[in-house]
């Protein structure tokens, strides 16, 4: 095992500039504290060791221009530049970029790639994009997709665009729709699932979400797109709220697990066709895709549409 030299920083006082106003404190610290593990950042936030204007704050606190952020002494690993990622992966993500301008990038994220590193992963989409676009110093995820979910992912190249899209996401300015292949015959009359969701973290670090009266309000709109007899249905899902694993859990709650979903859905969907007993010639993967996104008069679609 290679020992990585480390050093202990002193107390840091960081003043929030106007262009960073509106950013969450956890995201702010992740970009400001280079070399500090994400787990350590959240630990000092939970313990109240990070102060803003001499007061305790929560990880979701949104910074204001002129805020003074006090960061306690931290043991920081001394690392060189990030290890270059495989050229094949970088090329794959480069070809997956569907839209790009000076302030925004939209990528058709492949299934199986996390949107960011952490929890045992050394990299994700955002780390790869920062290597692809080293001149873009403010690249940030606008939203997230599950690791096993494919589809459209928005990445802001400027803080102003990040704030604008967060405001749009909180209102009705962004329309996100997904396509999912579910087990069984979805009733066309079932157009929405409204069920509160509660997120739990297991000892292993895995996140699990369940329907419970103690959870947060959650609403998903569904529309039947195509039927495959009584065996499966292709549906469009529009999450009105943005809870973790919302579509996957709501589909299961409706009695139609998503094909290939080992956590909430129908993991055995691809093991065989229940009507014929023959193997299904389709790779076993989560059949959920962020298929279309519309914002500010711009529309992007994944390859699934």
The 8 Å CB, 24+ separation contacts for 165-168 are 165/104, 165/295, 166/22, 166/142, 168/295, 168/296
Paired tokens of 181: 């292949």
> Which of these is catalytic: 67, 80, 146, 289?
146
Closest C-alpha among 41, 225, 13 to residue 118: 41
Neighbours of 142 (CB within 10 A): 21
Annotation says 146 is catalytic: yes
Q: Annotated catalytic sites, by residue?
A: 146
């Amino acid at each position: 095992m290679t020992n990585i030299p480390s050093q202990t920083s002193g107390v840091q006082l960081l003043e929030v500039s106007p262009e960073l106003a509106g950013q969450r404190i956890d995201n702010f610290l992740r970009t400001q504290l280079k070399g500090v593990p994400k787990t350590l950042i959240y630990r000092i936030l939970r313990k109240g060791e990070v102060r803003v204007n001499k007061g305790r704050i929560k990880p979701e606190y949104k910074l204001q221009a002129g805020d003074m952020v006090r960061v306690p002494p931290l043991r920081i690993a001394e690392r060189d530049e990030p290890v270059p990622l495989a050229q094949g992966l970088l090329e794959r993500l480069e070809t997956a970029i569907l839209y790009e301008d000076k302030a925004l990038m939209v990528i058709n994220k492949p299934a199986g790639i996390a949107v960011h590193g952490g929890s045992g992963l050394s990299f994700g989409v955002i780390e790869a994009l920062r290597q692809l676009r080293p001149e873009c110093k403010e690249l940030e995820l606008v939203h997230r997709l599950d690791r096993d979910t494919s589809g459209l992912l928005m990445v802001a190249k400027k803080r102003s665009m990040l704030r604008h899209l967060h405001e749009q996401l909180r209102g009705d300015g962004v329309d996100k729709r997904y396509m999912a292949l579910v087990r069984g015959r979805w009733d066309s009359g079932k157009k929405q699932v409204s069920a509160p969701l509660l997120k739990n973290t297991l000892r292993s670090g895995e996140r699990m979400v369940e329907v419970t009266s103690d959870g947060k309000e959650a609403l998903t709109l569904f529309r039947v797109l195509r039927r495959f007899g009584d065996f499966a249905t292709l549906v469009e899902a529009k999450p009105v709220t943005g809870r973790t694993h919302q579509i996957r859990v709501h589909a299961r709650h409706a009695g139609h697990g998503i094909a290939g979903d080992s956590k909430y859905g129908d993991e055995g969907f691809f093991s065989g066709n229940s009507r014929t007993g023959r193997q299904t010639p389709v790779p076993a993967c989560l059949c959920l895709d962020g298929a279309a996104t519309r914002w500010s008069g711009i529309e992007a679609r994944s390859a699934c549409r």
